[in-house]
Amino acid sequence: MKLDITQIKDTFQSGIDLENERVHIAAKHAGLHEDTLAAMDQNSDGVLDRAELHSLKLLLDTADADDEGIDLGYNADGKVGGDTVLWHGLAESIRDPRERILAVARTALQDPRLEEGYKGQERMLSHNTIHKGERVGDLIETRFENTYKCNLFVGDALWRAGFEVPLTRGDGWTHISSAEAWLKSPIFKTISAEDVQPGDIVVIDDLTTRGSGGAHIEIVTEINGKDVVAIGSRWTENGVFEDADRLYEFRDATRVESGGYQVGDQEFRFLRHRDMETPQAQLRI
C-alpha cells in the first residue's frame, strides 16, 4: 500500500516524540542512524511536528531500497521493508496518548499483513508478547486462524500505545480477552456519550446473543453530536476484510442501567482506560 504526505500528516497530527525509545528501536531496525531523525527536528524541540513531516516522507521513501515510495508490508524477497518498520515505530512514539492509539490502529489497518494475520498466515503485527498461543503437545501454536478479530486488533493497538489490556489465561496460553469481557474489566470505566473522545473504546453488545462472541469492539475516532465514528478489524461472513470508519448513531438511543445506550437489539457502552489521564505512566519507553 503506497502512502502519501496527506496520510502521513493525518496519522501524525500531534507530532512524534524523538526522545521516545520506540523511535530509536524502529530507526535501528530500518537501518537508519539516530542523527538522521534528529536532523529533521529543525527547531530542536524534540518533537517532529506537522511542519517537519515532508522531511519524514523523504526519509520513509528511501528507507527501503527494494521498492519505490512508502509501501507497507512484505517486499518481493518476503522480508518486511525498512519503511514499514519505521512507519509502525513512529506511530508508537506520538506524544499525545489519544492520537497515539489512533495512529497505531491506522498504521495497522494500512498494513496488508493485517489480513494475513486474520488468515493465520502472519504473527500479530506488533509481535505482542501477550499472544503466547495455544499449547499443542510440547509446542506453542501461534497461528490464530480466524481469530485476529476486533478484540485482538483493539487490544494490540492499546498495548502498542503503552496501555494495559484485559487478559484471559489458560493452560499454557494467554489471550487478550473477548470484547464482552472488556465491559467487566476494572481497567476501564464506563463514560457517557457526551464525554467520549477519540481514543476511547466502544463496545457493541448484541442483546440477542449474550455470551462469548456476542459483542464487537472498536476505537472511537470522531464524535459529531450524537454520531460516533469508530474503527476496528471486522471481516464479513464471506471473509472480506473491512477497514473503513463506521458511523454509529445515538439520536434515538435509550440510556440503560449499565451506563450504556440501547438501540434496538444492541447496547453500546463507551469505555475509557483508567490510565488515560496519566499518559506518561503507561507509555512504554
Residue 55 domain-assigned?
A: yes
* Boundary of a domain, candidates 177, 202, 219: 177
Q: Identify whether 280 is part of a domain.
A: no
Does the pLDDT of residue 133 top 80, yes or no? no
Give the range among 54-58, 84-88, 135-139 with minimum mean pLDDT.
135-139
pLDDT reading at 128 higher than 60:
no
| CATH code where residue 239 lies | 3.90.1720
| Pair (73, 6) in one structural domain | yes
In a domain, 232, yes or no: yes
Q: Does residue 187 have a pLDDT over 90?
A: yes
% of the chain beyond a pLDDT of 90: 11
pLDDT at residue 103 above 80?
yes
Predicted local distance difference test score (pLDDT) of residue 4? 67
Same domain, 16 and 90: yes
For 142-146, 196-200, 228-232, 254-258, which range has the lowest pLDDT when averaged over its residues?
142-146
Residues whose CB falls within 8 Å of the CB of residue 194, separated by 6 or more in sequence, listed in order: none
Asked if residue 71 belongs to a domain, the reply is: yes
The answer to whether residues 261 and 214 belong to one domain is yes
Boundary of a domain, candidates 32, 63, 95: 95
10, 89: one domain: yes
Structurally, the chain folds into a number of domains equal to 3
Q: Do 89 and 152 share a structural domain?
A: no
Q: Are residues 157 and 210 in the same domain?
A: no
Asked if the structure places residue 243 within a domain, the reply is: yes
- Give the pLDDT of residue 220: 94
Residues 6+ apart with CB under 8 A from 16: 23, 47, 48, 56, 90, 93, 94, 95
Q: Is residue 106 part of a domain?
A: no
What is the pTM for the complete model shown? 0.77
- Report the pLDDT averaged over residues 227-250: 67
- Position 113 scores a pLDDT of 66
- CA–CA separation, 119 vs 129, rounded Å? 19
Q: Between 266 and 88, whose confidence is greater?
A: 266
Which of the pair, 172 or 125, is modelled with greater confidence? Answer: 172
Task: Work out the pLDDT band at 202, boundaries 50, 70, 90.
Answer: very high
Q: Give the CA count within 13 Å in the CB-facing half-sphere of 146.
A: 5
Average pLDDT over residues 275-281: 67
Which range is least confidently modeled, 3-7, 197-201, 246-250?
3-7
pLDDT value, residue 134: 45
Alpha helices, DSSP H, located in the chain: 5-11, 21-29, 34-39, 53-62, 82-91, 97-110, 113-118, 150-160, 179-182, 279-282
Same domain, residue pair 39 and 62: yes
Does the residue 19 lie in any domain? yes
89 or 275, which is more confident: 275
Q: Is residue 103 part of a domain?
A: no
48-79: pLDDT as tens digits:
877 777 777 666 666 555 555 445 666 666 66
**Domain shared by 23 and 90, yes or no:** yes
Between 240 and 9, whose confidence is greater?
9
The least confident of 36-40, 138-142, 250-254 is 138-142
Claim to verify: residue 146 and residue 169 sit in the same structural domain: yes
The confidence score (pLDDT) of residue 93 equals 81
Same domain, 202 and 225: yes
Residues 202 and 256 occupy one common structural domain: yes
What is the span of the domain harbouring residue 164? 117-177
Q: Looking at the structure, tell me whether residues 224 and 260 fall in a common domain.
A: yes
